[in-house]
Structure 1
Amino acid sequence: MRLDTLIHNAQIVTGDPNRPTASRIGMWQGLIVGLDEQLDPLLAGPDAAAPAQVFDAAGACIVAGFNDVHAHSVWFGQTLIEIDLAEAKTPDDVYAAIASRINSFERGDWVICSNFNPLQMTGSVDRDRLDTVALGRPVLIKHRSGHAYTVNGVALSLAGVEDRPTEQPEGGEIVTDETGRATGLLDENAMRAVQDLLQPEALEPVADALAAASQHYLTEGLTSVTDAGIAGGWIGHTPREFAAYQLAADRGLLKHRSQTMITMDALHELPGHTNDPSARGLDAGIRSGVGDARLQIGPVKVFTDGSLLGATAAMTEEYAHCQHNHGYMQGDPETMRANVIDAAGAGWALALHAIGDAAIDFAIETITQARRIHGPGPLPDRIEHGGVVRDDQITLMANQNIVLVPQPYFISVFGEGMFHNLGPDRATLSYPARRLLDAGMILPGSSDRPVAHGAPLAVIQAFAQRLTEAGNPYGINDRITVAEALHAYTVGSARATGWGHKKGTLASGYLADLVVLGAHPLHVNVAEVAHIPIVATMVGGVIEYGQLDAH
């Protein structure tokens, strides 16, 4: 065997407890062949041949490729193209951002803005001012939470929303002012009225968005990403969304490894033999696990409640500053439970979005019941987010081997607002990490990008610091070390997605996905971790970003 690639003179963090560090790594046909002395027979034996390419890492740190198990790749790719409101602090900032780009839109085009964070705003965006600044065009402002839109009067009219609505959608709200007039804020399922006008989106621009996202991922060392909901719901873009993934992959534009969750409302009742269980799925019985290491269908994604940012997550106790408001579920709980159980009957792994502790109660009970009837799924069952998680719930999840997928970077950008909504006691239960590890659970790395910043090193730093945007400590009982956070973004993520046997660890037989870092994350101050440069990103033994010195 002639190695395709040899990297030497490196500080390799393997993620393998039996061999935690190494200095050399060899690759062949996209796989890791060995480390250090394991390579000697190939390099120094009587039949040895020089590797096709040899790289000197010059002492750089190498880790397994980062793996974000909960992001939204199409949505993120679109934010790289749409009007960016990430820095908008006042309504005038919003109007100015739109005005600066308005001449690039044809009359009648939708003016779409992304990354809007109402928690950092002083004042509210006015629907009538949006009408004026957009020169009669419909305006759609996507909130970073993904759980709300702000639109102007033109958009409301096109969507068929009455100026003074008399009915509200189930699991959502058309927000009105004190006179009963629609403000332009659409929460949760109320967003569907606008989405029905804009979707389904064409496959070509969806594939283009994926390409933009994929290229960006490489610059941050991301080699694997799970898209947490495609083909339906308010996060889907077209019922053919997986075909857009295939299109991007066929064109060589999908540089990272992708796992996609299909949303529950994209599934339907499946007929079958009388001996088959009641099932909800896709035609032909396609289910979780279809695909390969490059592109795979993951769990079914189920929305059970809302968000902490909008105080719509379902809580067992009322919000600290919203008297009598406990949030709400996204639909009738028993209907949701029946659908989840039928999806499990069709062979789907389960991924239930649950942020409030009442929703987490529902998710644990539902996953447990589905397993009792149908047994474990083909991939790990998961609960996404965990905005408020009680200790008794962690015990139940640990006993059931349910994976909880928290997003610690939420604390860095939304912490002050979440603390205000939850109060000091429940903030200590928010987006856990230390408590999960202490309970023996899998802890993966994730961002929910573009809801929050998605660079893995920044999220790793947030895992360890747990500081709000104002620099205040937030739930410090759940702090973990940088080493544990690095393990989460590699080994933990691989296990959470059902790939712990093939990636996330730098060891013989594993996929040759790795990242070369400009500094060792375990040797710098924790406050500097997010600023470590990405020297190179390698997927399947191929350098897809950056460079190393070859000889």
Structure 2
Amino acid sequence: MLVDLFIHHARILTQDPSYPVAGSLLIHDGKVLAVDPDPDLAMRAAQTIDAHGATLVPGFNDIHAHSVWFGLGLLEANLGAARSLDEVYRIIAEAAAPLAADEWVIASGYSPLLLGGQQPDRDRLDEAAGGRPVWIKHSSGHACTLNGAALDRVAAGADLSAPIDGGLVATGDDGRPTGLLEENAMRLVQDIMLPYPLETIERALDLATTHYLSEGITSVTDAGIAGGWIGYSPREFAAYQSARDKGLLSVRMQPMMVLDALHEVPGHAADPASRGLDAGIRTGLGDDWLRLGSVKIFSDGSLLGSTAYVTEEYVGCTHNHGYLQMDADKLRESALEAYRAGWAIAMHAIGDHAIDHAIDIITEAQDTYGRNALPNRIEHGGVVRPEQLDRIAEAGIVLVPQPHFITEFGDGMARLLGPKRTALSYPAKSLLARGAVLPGSSDRPVSNGRPLDVMQSFVERLTPSGEVYGPGERITAAEALAAYTTGSAAATGAADRKGRLVPGYLADLVFLDQDPTAVQPARIGATEVLATMVGGQLRFGADKFPARAAVADRAAVSIHEEVREDAK
């Protein structure tokens, strides 16, 4: 019997402690069949790939990203590189120029932290856009900025002065709205602009997942779809299914439903009250290509916007402790109702006070109803006290930090937190020391999502100014690679089928030009992704590693000899 593919002449970091380095792989039916196979078995391959000495690692798995948001950002005006308000106004003017007089100007990626906290002036935005409405999405995802024309459109259907639970319409000293909308206040503009057409969402997924392949990403968890201020349509999951059917979904996806997308589902009188989707659909539905993940629950805001819920006020921000996005009792009740219905919990909690709530809710859910098939998670962990880490590890909760925030925003975060809390921010080493799972994630497009860059951030933890941010939380390059492979697989309930290159596991792997665990930390991000394979198929870089038929006796003999050399 022929098998599909034999890859040889490689340095393979298998992530299998019992056999950490190999020279060849045999792949069949989208899975690894053998590592350093017997020559007789290798000669049965229908095709071969010569890796020419490349380093092979399991496919990278980003377990907290926002693919639709990222893909849409590729279609919108990009403010990510703006380093002054004048640049912001120039980019807005260029984006507005070809638009109709009443058409919206939509821009993404604005980061106040990179501009010393400055916010665009609503009147200057009016001028730059020629009177067109402007909607600027902040990179944090927790705020946006409107110009005067856009505020007028919002005010036509809503009272901008009315209090908003878990949100804020910022005003100046004169009581006039500045254009800044925080947290739940963003719904005021989203109520006008959403939902997006499903075809637009599919296009965004196509752009995003195609880009992922160029970075070695083979699996992604999208942290919140179909509801709240982070979703783009109540039918958003349908766009994922259609994208898959049309061949537009280039990597494996695990979307999380936002809590707002769930609702009370009636049942038998003996059934417990639950919050879910019609027909009882819940976490775990799907297959290895597209599977429903946890329910995403927002508890607090953003460290970048000083809205994360902390026990001690922010430095220089008197009486500002951030806030929860919903009443604490309602947060607990809603989360438990979803858990009872079979949804694993992924709770956004950045401040340590919010993390207290998250740990209490998740441990109550587990103690009362048992463990779910997927681990329960706390997303981010911007400030985590040592005793909280103890509880997280003891309860088997997965904390999902984003170390590249340090590389991009670390100086601003350190100013807000002060030295003591900076040392407790976005932990990594402390999790491993307690035996907890450490996964890899980026929160893209809030931050750069290229895994090799994030791995370097795990190791170096350097801020933009070159300061070390929490040196006690540095990890090794090997540990950073494990986070993006075995750690992410464990965090997403897939430790038995992905994250390692061992027999029976998915043949998702990346070809690299160097071993990122064997270079200086400052060179990890310089590692080039040469090719990416998903399910045994090269989906990026196939021109660099052409598969050749292996049918002639001479080829078989050659393979036989190379296997012997690779196995030495």
TM-score by length of 2: 0.94
1:309-328 mapped onto 2 (5 Å cutoff): 309-328=304-323
Amino acid paired to 1:11: R
| C-alpha displacement of 1:192 | 0.4
| C-alpha displacement of 1:163 | 11
- Which residue is 2:31 aligned to? 31
Unaligned 5+ runs, structure 1: none
Answer whether contact 1:57 1:549 (CA < 8 A) is retained. Answer: no
- Which residue is 1:14 aligned to? 14
Per-residue CA deviation, residues 395-440 of structure 1 (Å, 9 max, x unaligned), is 0011100000000000001101100110111000000000000000
| C-alpha displacement of 1:197 | 0.5
Answer whether contact 2:283 2:293 (CA < 8 A) is retained. Answer: yes
- Which residue is 1:42 aligned to? 41
User: What is the alpha-carbon distance in structure 2 between the residues aligned to residue 163 and residue 342 of structure 1?
Assistant: 31
- Which residue is 2:557 aligned to? none
1:437-448 mapped onto 2 (5 Å cutoff): 437-448=432-443
Answer whether contact 1:159 1:197 (CA < 8 A) is retained. Answer: yes
- Which residue is 2:559 aligned to? none
What's the Cα RMSD here?
Answer: 1.3
Answer whether contact 1:348 1:378 (CA < 8 A) is retained. Answer: no
| C-alpha displacement of 1:359 | 0.3
Answer whether contact 2:97 2:129 (CA < 8 A) is retained. Answer: no
- Which residue is 2:452 aligned to? 457
Unaligned 5+ runs, structure 2: 549-568
User: Which of 111, 127, 131 does residue 132 from structure 1 map onto?
Assistant: 127
User: What is the alpha-carbon distance in structure 2 between the residues aligned to residue 530 and residue 311 of structure 1?
Assistant: 29
| C-alpha displacement of 1:107 | 2.5
- Distance verdict in 2 for CA 1:145–1:522, change over 3 Å: same
- Which residue is 1:76 aligned to? 70
User: What is the alpha-carbon distance in structure 2 between the residues aligned to residue 397 and residue 522 of structure 1?
Assistant: 28
| C-alpha displacement of 1:320 | 1.2
Amino acid paired to 2:52: A
| C-alpha displacement of 1:276 | 1.4
User: What is the alpha-carbon distance in structure 1 between the residues aligned to residue 212 and residue 443 of structure 2?
Assistant: 14
TM-score by length of 1: 0.97
User: What is the alpha-carbon distance in structure 1 between the residues aligned to residue 42 and residue 57 of structure 2?
Assistant: 23
- Which residue is 1:184 aligned to? 179
- Which residue is 2:332 aligned to? 337
Answer whether contact 1:412 1:469 (CA < 8 A) is retained. Answer: yes
Per-residue CA deviation, residues 347-399 of structure 1 (Å, 9 max, x unaligned), is 00000000000000000000111112221112110000000000100100111
| C-alpha displacement of 1:469 | 1.1
SS in 2 for 1:19: coil
Per-residue CA deviation, residues 111-161 of structure 1 (Å, 9 max, x unaligned), is 111110111115431101111111121101110000000110111111127
User: Which of 284, 304, 307 does residue 299 from structure 2 map onto?
Assistant: 304
- Which residue is 1:387 aligned to? 382
Greater alpha carbon shift after TM alignment, 153-162 vs 501-510: 153-162
| C-alpha displacement of 1:549 | 4.3
2:472 is the counterpart of 1:477: yes
Identical pairs, percent = 54
SS in 2 for 1:249: helix
| C-alpha displacement of 1:190 | 0.6
- Which residue is 2:96 aligned to? 102
- Distance verdict in 2 for CA 1:164–1:417, change over 3 Å: farther
User: What is the alpha-carbon distance in structure 2 between the residues aligned to residue 146 and residue 3 of structure 1?
Assistant: 47
SS in 2 for 1:351: strand
Answer whether contact 1:2 1:42 (CA < 8 A) is retained. Answer: no
SS in 2 for 1:275: coil
- Which residue is 2:84 aligned to? 90
SS in 2 for 1:108: coil
User: What is the alpha-carbon distance in structure 2 between the residues aligned to residue 162 and residue 179 of structure 1?
Assistant: 23
User: What is the alpha-carbon distance in structure 1 between the residues aligned to residue 523 and residue 77 of structure 2?
Assistant: 30
Amino acid paired to 2:22: A
Per-residue CA deviation, residues 503-535 of structure 1 (Å, 9 max, x unaligned), is 000000000000000111122211111111111
| C-alpha displacement of 1:164 | 9.4
Amino acid paired to 1:5: L
User: What is the alpha-carbon distance in structure 2 between the residues aligned to residue 421 and residue 162 of structure 1?
Assistant: 36
User: What is the alpha-carbon distance in structure 1 between the residues aligned to residue 270 and residue 366 of structure 2?
Assistant: 18
User: What is the alpha-carbon distance in structure 2 between the residues aligned to residue 466 and residue 295 of structure 1?
Assistant: 33
Runs ≥4 residues deviating over 6 A: 161-164
- Which residue is 1:57 aligned to? 51
Answer whether contact 1:163 1:181 (CA < 8 A) is retained. Answer: no
Answer whether contact 2:27 2:507 (CA < 8 A) is retained. Answer: yes
